Amino acid sequence: MKNTKNNKSMLAPGHRGCAGCGELLAARTVANALGPNTIIANGTGCLEVTTTPYPQSAWRMPWIHSLFENAAGVASGILAALKQQKKDKEIKVVAQGGDGGTFDIGFGLISGMWERGENILYVCYDNEAYANTGMQASGATPWGSSTTTTPAGEGQTIDAIGSHQRKKDMIAIALAHGLNYVAQTTAGFLSDIEAKVKKAVTMEGPAYIQIMTPCIPGWKISPDQTLAMGRMAAKTGLYPQLEYINGELVNKTKITKPIKVGEYLNAQGRFKHLFKTEQGKEQIKYIQSLADANIKKYGLDK
């Protein structure tokens, strides 16, 4: 067995995340890419709850949790204090949280932090629902997903398909704030996460990285499917790997042979109901049209 004392990972093993958790895998990759001269402000959610059961912490770096909604506000305060001490050039401030904390509940403070142009990296771990409290739908929940607040049902009403709200386009919202660095990737590509974090910290001003992180119980997948789901999400076109610098799309990972969304959806329990009814099958066609639109919008086939 590995001696954990010699394990230099910034996020130690032995935390309470589910086996195969995409969020923990991505967070460890982010933390290792950031290194020790970093202070992280974390919103409430699975990432916080599983890594810091009081009085323990799995973080081998300065890390603070205050409330669900205020990771960005806490990060702004930390940066102000570092500036006062003239340490803001040597220590990187990072705020992070889940999709609920980012797309919905913490959004006001994130928008303010971006508006102020502060030199803070924000990382969103997007498992497409409020996972920590039992998988309620968030602004990041995709069309057709069954969650505890949008449960799939019987019959022909639109409610039977699960969520029938479009996923909020946070990448476009981040770009609209004029951020210098905006990127998207998934937990299926750990070296891509690492490269994007390392790039983001070289940029002056606010930066945003959004990482799709498959959730074992919430997506009703097995622990060995995390990487495959992350990769498939990108390769369908539903969750492309993108990198914007100064508002320009400078990097996109090409999709030469797109995977059909049906293959991706059928692998997950949260979409299983769509395959059982005619109405559901219509939704699969609609979800395919969303993936196709992304491929066109970002020129992923070129």
Ligand X SMILES: Cc1ncc(C[n+]2csc(CCOP(=O)(O)OP(=O)(O)O)c2C)c(N)n1
- Quick check: 74 binds ligand X (CB under 6 A)? no
Alpha helices in the chain (DSSP H): 22-34, 46-51, 71-84, 99, 107-115, 170-176, 190-200, 216-219, 226-236, 261-266, 278-297
151 three-class SS: coil
Q: For the CB of residue 226, give the shortest distance to ligand X in the complex, in Å.
A: 14
How long is the chain? 302
Among residues 17, 73, 97, 162, which is the contact residue for ligand X, using CB under 6 A?
A: 97
- Quick check: 160 binds ligand X (CB under 6 A)? no
Torsional sign, CA 283, 237, 271, 27: negative
Q: Closest CB to Mg ion among 110 and 160?
A: 110
- Quick check: 46 binds ligand X (CB under 6 A)? yes
Q: For the CB of residue 210, give the shortest distance to ligand X in the complex, in Å.
A: 12
Which of 298, 286, 248, 42 is CA-nearest to residue 167?
286
Q: Closest CB to ligand X among 140 and 255?
A: 140
Q: For the CB of residue 68, give the shortest distance to ligand X in the complex, in Å.
A: 4
Helices vs strands, H then E, count in the chain: 11, 8
The torsion of the CA quartet 88, 89, 91, 97, rounded to 10 degrees, works out to: 70
Q: For the CB of residue 285, give the shortest distance to Mg ion in the complex, in Å.
A: 27
List Cβ neighbours of 74 (8 Å cut-off, separation of 6 or more): 41, 64, 66, 95
Q: For the CB of residue 257, give the shortest distance to ligand X in the complex, in Å.
A: 31
Q: For the CB of residue 254, give the shortest distance to ligand X in the complex, in Å.
A: 30
- Quick check: 123 binds ligand X (CB under 6 A)? no
Q: Which does 219 bind (CB under 5 to 8 A by kind): Mg ion, ligand X, none?
A: none
Residues that bind Mg ion (CB under 5 A): 98-99, 127, 131
d(CA 269, CA 110): 32
Supply 186's token pair.
Answer: 């998934």
Q: Closest CB to ligand X among 119 and 163?
A: 163
Among residues 29, 38, 42, 132, which is the contact residue for ligand X, using CB under 6 A?
A: 132
- Quick check: 138 binds ligand X (CB under 6 A)? yes
Residues near ligand X, by CB under 6 A: 23, 44-47, 68-69, 97-101, 105, 125, 127, 130-133, 138
